[in-house]
Amino acid sequence: MSIAIDDLPVREELRGKSPYGAPQLDVPVRLNTNENPYPLPEPLVERIAERVREAARGLNRYPDRDAVELRTKLAEYLTRTGGHPVGVENVWAANGSNEVIQQLLQTFGGPGRTAIGFEPSYSMHSLIARGTGTGWISGPRRDDFGIDIEAAVRAIAEHRPDVVFVTTPNNPTGNTVPRETVLALYEAAQAAKPSMVVVDEAYVEFSHGDSLLPLIEGRPHLVISRTMSKAFGAAGLRLGYLAAHPAVVDAVQLVRLPYHLSAVTQATALAALEHTDTLLGYVEQLKAERDRLVAELRAIGYEVTESDANFVQFGRFPDAHEAWRKILERGVLVRDNGVPGWLRVTAGTPEENDAFLDAVRELKKEQSR
């Protein structure tokens, strides 16, 4: 007897739904999940091995439940790069920023509550909302993928969501949300409820502009979410973190599982933070490659959304999925995020980007024949 998900007594809102599923295909050039293409440098690999060996000696014990050393180092990193001093009491860490977002929705969302995001945006916000029983509201964006302040403020006033997501730089479009827009949304959210505003800055290190970290000052309902998956080149580590008023850090502890961050994760993240300057050096290279992708895609004749991230949204295609398939046939995996007419490519190494540009050049020729 074959039994499928819907034959099980799963929650009603999960019936007929699909899990997050960026394809993990074995192709020569993978530019589809916004990872950093550079493996960690060898001295850091050695340091991780050393720190993990030390941690292994204590694995009979539970790890530091509050991850104090790690949060202190993350606070130092934020203070140094984010334009605003924060301490350990402002910072919380979890297994990837996806888990940070899940903990925020478990704390401030949940059954009977709602969250809003301005779409297209990071698809996991709505998926995590669903997983936590939080109602999802899809807020509007303009045709150029910017957030229209008036339309967004109206949507917040109408729906009075408990959580507002703002992703900047936005994924998959790559554009930054201006500070004034975030401030306007925060004001609207306070007037409507008041609700929590989560600014997802997963890609901020690749931005031409500054972090919105200073905005947490005097705004206890504002949370900045960050990750080590992108700029730190450590997607496999699974380490995300947030910065906010200390009360927010206290609140998420009501829902976090005890000892959620393993001793191995904490040791590895601490080793990576010792090598921050080297890792941020790769970010500069990736920014230059991102800018080259934008320029060359335009020269070939594609439309490109202005990008402040380590990826570029390009189009337009009469059938984006068909174009995705044709690029894949040429050995390059990009991402079809379901935005009609558009695809997204992650900035890879110069060689990977050349392979991608060759593929889309050929595609353009084929389409104009």
Residues near ligand PLP, by CB under 6 A: 34, 96-98, 122, 167, 171, 200, 202, 227, 229, 235, 240
User: What's the min distance (Å) between Cβ of 104 and ligand PLP?
Assistant: 12
How far apart CA 138 and CA 129 sit, in angstroms, is: 12
**96/315 with CB nearer ligand PLP:** 96
Is the torsion defined by CA of 306, 312, 317, 321 positive or negative? negative
- Return the ∠ at Cα 251 (arms to 249 and 257), rounded to 5°: 90
Instruction: Output b/e per residue, 40-53; b: 16+ Cβ within 10 A.
Output: beeebeebbeebbe
Q: What's the order of all strands across the beta sheet hosting 91-94?
A: 91-94, 240-243, 222-227, 196-200, 163-167, 114-118, 135-139
* Minimum CB–partner distance for residue 367 and ligand PLP (Å): 29
Minimal CB distance to ligand PLP: which residue?
A: 96
Please state the closest distance from residue 364 (CB atom) to ligand PLP, in A: 27
CB of 171 to ligand PLP, least distance (A): 4
Closest to 110 (Cα-Cα) out of 167, 186, 161 = 161
Instruction: Please say which residue, 235 or 264, places its beta carbon nearer to ligand PLP.
Output: 235
Cβ proximity to ligand PLP, 44 vs 94, nearer residue: 94
Q: How far is the CB of 229 from ligand PLP (least distance, A)?
A: 3
By beta-carbon proximity to ligand PLP, the closer residue of 103 and 326 is 103
For the chain, the 3-state helix, strand and coil shares in percent, each to the nearest 5, are 45, 15, 40
Tell the smallest beta-carbon distance from residue 117 to ligand PLP (Å): 10
Query: Between residues 34 and 114, which has the closer beta carbon with respect to ligand PLP?
Result: 34
Nearer to ligand PLP, 296 or 336 (CB): 336
Residues 138 and 126: beta-carbon distance below 8 Å: yes
